[in-house]
Homo-oligomer: A and B are copies of this chain.
Amino acid sequence: MVINANFYMDLAVREAWRYQGLTYPNPAVGCTVVGLSGEILAVEAHKRAGGPHAEVEALKTAYFKLTNDEGILNILSSSEIHAYLLKNHKNCFKNVSLYTTLEPCSHIGKTPSCATLISSLGIKTLFVGSNDTNEEASGGNEILSKSGLHVEMNILKDECDALLRPFNKWTQKSFVFFKWAQRLNGTTDCGIISSQESRINVHAMRDKCDLLVIGGNTVRVDRPTLDARLINGKAPDVLIISKSKDFDMSIPLFGVKNRKVIISDNFSTCRDYKNIMIEGSSKMLELSRDIIDYYLCYLAPTVGGSNSFTKLDDKFKILNVQKEAQDIIMWMKREL
């Protein structure tokens, strides 16, 4: 294994994918901090909008490793971490390199600008994966270059761009991902498939979606709730794709508070939403394929059931695969 800039960036990329979908409307970003001798001081990710950016999480962890100053450990708010680091860093970052999957932000939003923080801490070298095309936040690299910091761009650019794509879609229009759970033998029927950990992860995704799309037949047969109860999260609006508007209104999903349910024979409602999850099986995958950006598969290492995706003739590119608890979580896109 070659231990180089790509290796450090890959650690950041992998960590960031674990929070893909959970950072909405912010991008999934990862950051690795490396010391003078090449020691890894931190690998962190942005975990949720409003929380510290990946760079801030990573600088916080690295600061403790470098100084042993426990004062920083209980500080959770991003602006307070910024302030604490600026006040107490005593040049401890002067030999440190930062690997961040996305150009540090230049704007002051819910948190202060990461570019300003990084340049103020006297960090040695910044390695960046993707450019930030978001007008409000971009320009971070310029701030940093002007401050005398050495910046290297395009480290694992393709991988970082793939990680960033949902964010770019949110800012342009909307991001649509098709999520399903299956067994090793491809089946999607016959009861619960995923582990409890995977189902909690799905509920956390739902909590961040504003629209959930599902087929009418699935609604009639499964009678789902489609909320985020496993994490006490908010339930997204639901679009039921169905020719008939006739549904038993005692199906739990209709009774969820603060939720709009739209029944339609097409996807045009999606235009009004930003972060859209489609749940379903073979038929829904076929119906929606033209609007899908990414595919998210929870693969349980079991064999059973009887029905799987069979009508398609598709090829995917795996963007990220990780084992989480018992299952495998895969993000993919369709290969053209």
Contact = CB atoms under 8 A, between A and B. Distances in A.
Given A35-B37, A308-B186, A43 B301 contact: no
A196 interface: no
Interface of A: 1, 3, 7, 11, 15, 35-44, 182-187, 297, 301-304, 306, 308-310, 312-318, 321-323, 326, 328, 330, 332
A37 B37 CA distance: 7
Contacts of A44: 1
A40 B326 contact: no
How many copies, total? 2
Contact of A11 (B1, B37, B317): B1
Contact of A184 (B39, B42, B301, B309): B309
Contacts of A40: 3, 7, 38-40
Contacts of A42: 1, 3
B41 A39 contact: no
A46 to B, nearest CB: 13
Given A40-B3, A186-B184, A303 B313 contact: yes
A165 to B, nearest CB: 17
A315 B332 contact: no
A294 to B, nearest CB: 13
A326 B321 contact: no
